[in-house]
Amino acid sequence: MKKQIIKVQKTDLAPRKNGNSRRQFLKMGGLAVAGSSLLLYSCSDDDDMGQMPGDVFDLGSGDVGILNYAYALEQLEAEFYTKVLDGSYWAGANAEEKLILEDLYKHEVIHREFFKAALNAAAPANQVLPSLEFDFSGVDFSNRASVLGTARVLEDTGVAAYNGAGRLLQTPEYLVLAGKIVSVEARHAAAIRSIFLDDDTAFAGDDVIDANGLDLAQSPQEILQAVGATGFVKTEFTANNLPTGA
């Protein structure tokens, strides 16, 4: 059985001039209302097999597997921004950067709790990914480049992950909600890029937007391999049954 651990690589991003509209990335109440529709749907018959005690957790198959996959990524991002707000870089950052990072923290915590609630409503407890343990010792939370560089990679990875996983969802309502979340993740990525990268066009750079004007998309397998390479995720889990869409 091939095991997979989540990690993410590090990179960089640039400063923004106007901070006023950034608080409008996401209406907290709007996501909560949208999320409530998820609670009406249960998992498919394919997901009835539970985890055996002592087993390494597997994300599962079908929509539950994809929801667990998204939940893992949102746990990672929420924990990262929690560390950011506890760090000395954020404490001494300028007002604009402070505001952006605080907003991103709030959004990622909402996303994490949203997926946790959705999974608890859709699947038995033993099929819901547990809280993961992380190791961000490789990030210097007192250093702007280290923080924003890591944030850039996490946000770009999140956008590619949602874009790649959307086609694997079988429940239309899940796809609609994933589309709403990926649009927020893309705003995050654009904001981080614009305050970190020394390029006026970095918010939609050629490294993330292809020649057809489309965001990059990567499969869950590609994302988990890239995330695993960072060493950020300490909790071991497998992704042996995730759909590939092949």
DSSP state letters, the chain: ---B---------B--S--GGGGGS--HHHHHHHHHGGGG----GGG---PPTTSPEE--SHHHHHHHHHHHHHHHHHHHHHHHHHSHHHHHS-HHHHHHHHHHHHHHHHHHHHHHHHHHHHS-GGGSPPPP-B--TTS-TT-HHHHHHHHHHHHHHHHHHHHHHGGG--SHHHHHHHHHHHHHHHHHHHHHHHHHSS-TTGGG-TTTB-TTS-B----HHHHHHHHHTTT-B-S-EE-TT-----
Look over the chain and give the mean of its residue pLDDT values, rounded to a whole number.
79
Position with higher pLDDT, 241 vs 204: 241
State how far the Cα of 43 lies from the Cα of 241, in Å rounded to an integer. 15
23 inside domain: no
164 inside domain: yes
For residue 87, give its domain range: 59-128+139-236
> Per residue in 111-143, pLDDT tens?
999 999 999 999 999 999 999 999 999 999 999
For the domain that residue 158 is a member of, what is the CATH number?
Answer: 1.20.1260
Residue type, 172: P
What's the pLDDT at 2? 41
16 inside domain: no
The pLDDT-based confidence of 217 (bands split at 50, 70, 90) is confident
Give the range among 27-41, 147-161, 224-238 with minimum mean pLDDT: 27-41
194 inside domain: yes
18 inside domain: no
What's the pLDDT at 45? 39
What's the pLDDT at 174? 86
pTM confidence score: 0.78
The pLDDT-based confidence of 50 (bands split at 50, 70, 90) is low
Counting the structural domains of the chain, the total is 1
Give the range among 23-27, 59-63, 141-145 with minimum mean pLDDT: 23-27
State how far the Cα of 217 lies from the Cα of 163, in Å rounded to an integer. 5
- Strand partners for 196: 14
The pLDDT-based confidence of 183 (bands split at 50, 70, 90) is confident
96 inside domain: yes
Position with higher pLDDT, 195 vs 87: 87
8 inside domain: no
> Per residue in 95-118, pLDDT tens?
999 999 999 999 999 999 999 999
| pLDDT of 31 higher than 90 | no
Give mean pLDDT, residues 177-197. 87
218 inside domain: yes
| pLDDT of 205 higher than 50 | yes
In the chain, the largest separation of any two C-alpha atoms, in whole Å, equals 53
